């Protein structure tokens, strides 16, 4: 199907899709929608920003039978924010219908969660722990649901939620259709998938290209300057609508946010040590545009949808380079442009080379007097190293150890090779 009007969806769904402004399905949507319509268990491997949420929300809504007053679909997300985001998108599809939905997330009163289930919903969206709790106390009739979505499965695994999912998935029907969405499929996740999925279709999107189309990837050397001071120089040279500054640990995020506050900025902060109430308040402040900068750990790159991000700054390179893709995927969304700025020291050279192999087209730049300038040192240094290597190899191949050696030949050989290399370097300069 090349356009959404080509699908034979119910009239209400066609109208909702049109309201959302969707004309053509994205590659992951083209692949996943037909599979889900046919109840074919599938693994959708795609990065953030590829339209994967609607690749399962749209067909699952289409399949809901409102004549059956029972739970039919369970959708899990590893964080409250992701679950809330999914439920918000779901409501846009079903607002003019009799389809009932509910959200079940941690950080809220369990009695209130149970009250939401008094009128049995057709679709549940929630975090694994709260869904398990409601199933165990009998408030959620999970045994009737034949469709299960696990969104951001690798993050769910990293956060220890697969056991919760296993607990309630084991109560679901034998003929369970399961749809797993994940940027990566860790080896340790595979036994769980094999337990519930019989020969699933594996849809893997090569979505690196769309990630780079509207993005500018700036690589900024720190050199001998203090890294935090360098960050201030970078911040002075950009006017972001909203920028996320990434660190690798909660402690570093707090230290950096405190440093920025001392220098006149008002940064938000998002990391795993915030209480549910603090995170909810922080996200409201972000949506109310109270912050121009947010200091965050990688949880925000995967687990929280932050709208309107124009810039991403990698204060630290992630230890798992896959997270670099997730971080920069926070910006340049919905056809808009974005800028990803990466601060690096000489010790980061190997990681930078590996990121470049992921298809990231870095531009080597620096900030001088508040202005961006392109610098060539990094590539020039590589070129000089290559030239030195080539001249050394040439000298060693032409001026070699004589067949008959005399005492002191090694010193004489080295001197001859050095003279040759000097001549070669002079010729190159000419």
For the chain, give every domain's residue range: 4-206, 209-375, 379-429
Residue 331 · residue 312 · CB < 8 Å: yes
Mind listing the pLDDT tens digit for each residue in 99-148?
999 999 987 778 888 888 888 999 999 999 999 999 999 999 999 999 99
The residues with which 74 forms a beta bridge, in sequence order, are 124, 148
Query: What is the homologous superfamily of the domain 4-206 according to CATH?
Result: P-loop containing nucleotide triphosphate hydrolases (3.40.50.300)
Does the pLDDT at position 326 exceed 70?
Answer: yes
Q: Write down the mean pLDDT value for the chain.
A: 85
pLDDT digits (tens, 9 = 90+) for 381-415: 555 545 555 666 666 777 766 666 667 767 777 77
Least confident of 87-96, 199-208, 304-313: 199-208
C-alpha 9/C-alpha 32 separation (Å) is: 15
pTM for this entry: 0.63
Beta bridge partners of 148: 74, 178
User: Under CATH, which number does the domain 209-375 receive?
Assistant: 3.40.50.300
Based on its alpha-carbon atoms, the radius of gyration of the chain, rounded to whole angstroms, reads 27
Query: Distances from the Cα of 369 to the Cαs of 8, 22, 234, 374, in angstroms?
Result: 58, 44, 10, 13
4-206 against 209-375: fold identical: yes
Q: Which stretches does DSSP call E strand in 177-246?
A: 177-182, 201-204, 215-221, 243-246
Please say if the pLDDT value at position 380 is more than 60: no
**Average pLDDT over every residue of 254-280:** 90
């Amino acid at each position: 199907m090349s356009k959404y009007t080509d699908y034979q969806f119910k009239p209400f769904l066609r109208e909702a899709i049109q309201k959302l402004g969707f004309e053509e399905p994205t590659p992951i949507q083209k692949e996943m929608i037909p599979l889900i319509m046919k109840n074919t268990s599938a693994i959708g491997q795609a990065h953030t920003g590829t339209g994967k949420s609607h690749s399962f929300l749209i067909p699952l809504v289409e399949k809901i039978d409102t004549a059956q007053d029972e739970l039919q679909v369970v959708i899990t997300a590893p964080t409250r924010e992701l679950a809330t985001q999914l439920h918000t998108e779901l409501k846009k599809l079903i607002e003019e219908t009799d389809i009932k939905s509910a959200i079940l997330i941690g950080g809220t009163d369990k009695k209130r969660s149970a009250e939401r289930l008094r009128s049995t919903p057709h679709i549940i969206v929630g975090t694994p722990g709260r869904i398990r709790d409601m199933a165990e106390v009998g408030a959620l009739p999970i045994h009737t649901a034949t469709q299960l979505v696990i969104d951001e499965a690798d993050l769910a695994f990293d956060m220890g939620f697969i056991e919760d999912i296993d607990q309630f998935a084991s109560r679901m029907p034998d003929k369970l259709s399961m749809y797993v969405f994940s940027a990566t499929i860790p080896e340790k996740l595979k036994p769980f998938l094999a337990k519930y999925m019989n020969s699933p279709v594996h849809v893997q999107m090569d979505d690196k290209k769309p990630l780079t189309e509207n993005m500018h990837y700036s690589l900024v050397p720190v050199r001998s300057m203090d890294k935090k001071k360098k960050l201030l120089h970078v911040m002075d040279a950009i006017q972001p609508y909203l920028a996320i500054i990434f660190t690798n640990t909660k402690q570093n995020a707090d230290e950096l946010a405190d440093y920025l506050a001392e220098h006149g900025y008002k940064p938000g902060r998002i990391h795993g040590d915030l209480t549910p109430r603090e995170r909810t308040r922080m996200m409201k402040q972000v949506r109310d545009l109270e912050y121009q900068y947010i200091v965050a750990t990688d949880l925000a790159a995967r687990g929280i949808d932050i709208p309107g991000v124009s810039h991403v700054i990698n204060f630290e390179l992630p230890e798992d380079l896959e997270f670099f893709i997730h971080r920069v995927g926070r910006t340049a969304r919905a056809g808009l442009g974005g800028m990803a700025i990466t601060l690096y020291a000489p010790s980061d050279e190997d990681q930078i080379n590996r990121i470049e192999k992921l298809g990231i087209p870095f531009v080597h730049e620096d900030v001088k007097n508040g202005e961006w300038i392109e610098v060539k040192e990094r590539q020039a240094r590589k070129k000089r190293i290559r030239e030195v290597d080539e001249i050394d190899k040439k000298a060693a191949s032409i001026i070699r150890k004589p067949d008959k050696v005399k005492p002191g030949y090694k010193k004489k050989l080295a001197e001859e090779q050095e003279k040759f290399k000097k001549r070669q370097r002079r010729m190159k300069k000419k």
